[in-house]
Chain A
Amino acid sequence: MTEKRVIDARGSFCPGPLMELIAGLKMMQVGEEAEVLSTDKGSANDIPEWVKKVGHAHIGTNEESGVWHVTVRKMK
């Protein structure tokens, strides 16, 4: 299994975490996964919506002490 690319967007507000994810995805290979760390709840809800809309895969979201971990697989 390949290592996940961690995108630490803690402290940033919408649409900061999403834009950081997109910048990260540009540098990744198809099939690789990114885990976005966000303290912004809106972004935690928005990122899976964006992922679905543009055709990547939302692997999962979990919250640990106020930090959302949103995992995404690059599909194209």
Chain B
Amino acid sequence: MSSNRISIILTSDKREQLQMAAMIASVGAVSGNEVTVFISMNALQYFLKDGPERAPAAGAMGEILERKKVPHFMTLFEQAVELGDAKILPCSMAMDVLEVGHQDMKPFVGEAMGLTTFLDDARDGQVWSF
């Protein structure tokens, strides 16, 4: 039996990567998959309540994304949770390093997760890294 689990590791602070991860998370979650997004490293800041709204473009496409009416990556992550029951879980190590807690994160972000649990959960499905 094939698994319908999609695990996404998001560490980038670049707009293109954040956008692609958000697209996979949202479309995956509303299409009957169990989606977990593990956020760490430079990506974590965007999920803070007072985090930056804009992400720097890595290349030309990122500039175009900003100009055109493309759904904002954070809107897509939120829709992944609200419409598709995706889980967006911050890396506990990144939380410790940044000295932030669950109360500092946006309301749709779940409890911190450790790498051991994430790797165990991700074992039987698709794993995407951005």
A23 to B26, CA, bound (A): 12
Convert B52-82 into 0s and 1s, putting 1 for each residue whose CB lies closer than 8 angstroms to a CB of A: 0000000000000000111100001001000
Given contacts A53-B31, A53-B32, A54-B31, contact A11 B83 (CB under 8 A): no
Q: What residue of chain B has the Cβ atom nearest to residue A26's Cβ?
A: B83
A13 near B68 with CB under 8 A, answer yes
Q: Is A30 an interface residue (CB 8 A)?
A: no
CA distance A14 to B24 in the complex (A): 11
Report the minimum CB–CB distance from B99 to chain A (whole Å): 34
CB <8 Å contact, B23 and A22:
no
Contacts of B112 in A (CB 8 A): none
Q: Contact at A12–B71, with CB atoms within 8 Å?
A: yes
Give bound CA distance, A39 to B64, whole Å. Answer: 17
Overall SS of chain A's interface: helix
Counting CB contacts under 8 A, is B94 at the interface? no
**Cα A50 to Cα B26 with chains together (Å):** 12
Contact of A18 among B27, B32, B70 (CB under 8 A): B27
Asked if B30 CB lies within 8 Å of chain A CBs, one says yes
B30 lies within 8 A of A50 (CB): yes
Verify B30–A22 contact, CB threshold 8 A: yes
List, in ascending order, chain B residues with CB within 8 A of A14's CB: 23
Contact with A along B11-31 (1 / 0, CB 8 A): 000000000000100110011
A residues 5-48 in Cβ contact with B at 8 Å: 11-16, 18-19, 22-23, 26
Can you list 13 pairs linking A and B with CB atoms under 8 Å apart? Answer: A13-B68, A13-B69, A13-B71, A15-B71, A18-B27, A18-B30, A19-B76, A22-B30, A23-B79, A50-B27, A53-B31, A54-B30, A54-B32
Residues of B within 8 A of A (CB): 23, 26-27, 30-32, 68-71, 76, 79, 83
**What are the 10 A-B residue pairs with the smallest beta carbon separation, nearest first?**
A16-B71, A13-B70, A11-B69, A19-B79, A15-B27, A22-B83, A22-B30, A12-B69, A53-B31, A15-B23
